[in-house]
Amino acid sequence: MVYLTVEKGLAPNTLESYSRDLQDFRAYFCDQAITALATIRAPVILGYLIHLRNRGLSSKSRARHLVTLRGFFRFLHQEKMIPVDPVALIAMPKSGLHLPGILSVPEIHALLSAPDRSRPVGLRDAAMLELLYAAGLRVSELIHLDVMDVNRDAGFVRVFGKGGKERVVPIGRPALKIMERYIREARPLLLKGLTSEVLFVGRRGRPLTRQGFWKLLKKHTTRAGIRHSVSPHTLRHSFASHLLEGGADLRVVQVMLGHVDIATTQIYTHVSTERLKTIHRQYHPRS
């Protein structure tokens, strides 16, 4: 506080607010069994922000907490008291901090189990939901996948994201297994004799639309007993959050998501596809 008083010249009320924020954060990381500030990394900060949201704090209040932590860890890093600034990669939106809703792991399991896999349409829906969560895809990326984009032998899906930027994302065994069944059993029945390169098709063999996916997601959300609002992006953010909470490196998760806005929008270091696959298998709950 001497640094903030003398060097920064902050007012007493501001100092008191910073002190409360830091005491709150200290209580959080002690609960997480973290014993040294030097070991804290970005996932801990993101977990703390989610913790604040779950406590009912407004986006403005969460943004203030983030400002406090940013100044605190920047100071520690400048003074060489910690090796890494864990807040450096976490972006502050101009309109305040916004954390998207996510599903818990039990809710994810309920949703992915909701489609009736004994029917062709249900098998297709199950494959779409599994792949959306397994790879953290945007709905636009999901519906534009071709059959050849899924490498079932290597366990990867090739995705063309915003601006046509290509990325390769590993997918786990549950998603691969249901994809195999869908392509082998359900897709030919839905095509009704037609030919198409598109992976996911509707009842008449035509590519599924965004609106069509929204409708099936709403139906299965209700069937799974999930009462709060769920969008395709909810599964994408759940994918990222569950990996981070499991201990995955923030940069690796961002590579999987393709320049995601969960922490930062700058260019990240290159990560090999084999490294991505290893990380995914280690941390994703359905790998």
Residues designated as active site? 138, 162, 233, 236, 259, 268
Amino acid, res. 192: K
Please state at what angle helix 120-135 crosses helix 173-181, rounded to 10 degrees. 150
Query: Which residues share a beta bridge with 151?
Result: 156
Task: Write the DSSP string, 88-123.
Answer: TT----TT---------HHHHHHHHH-S-TTSHHHH
Give 227's DSSP letter.
Answer: -
User: In angstroms, rounded to a whole number, what is the distance separating the alpha carbons of residues 69 and 99?
Assistant: 17
Check if the beta carbon of residue 68 is closer than 8 Å to that of residue 18.
Answer: yes
Q: How far apart are CA 114 and CA 111, in angstroms?
A: 5
Main-chain dihedrals φ then ψ at residue 156, nearest 5 degrees: -130, 155
Question: Quick one: DSSP state of residue 156?
Answer: E
End-to-end CA separation in angstroms for the chain: 46
Positive/negative CA dihedral, 118, 119, 124, 128? negative
Query: What stretches of 136-231 show up as alpha helix (H) in DSSP?
Result: 139-143, 173-181, 187-191, 210-223
Question: Which tokens belong to 278?
Answer: 């290893």
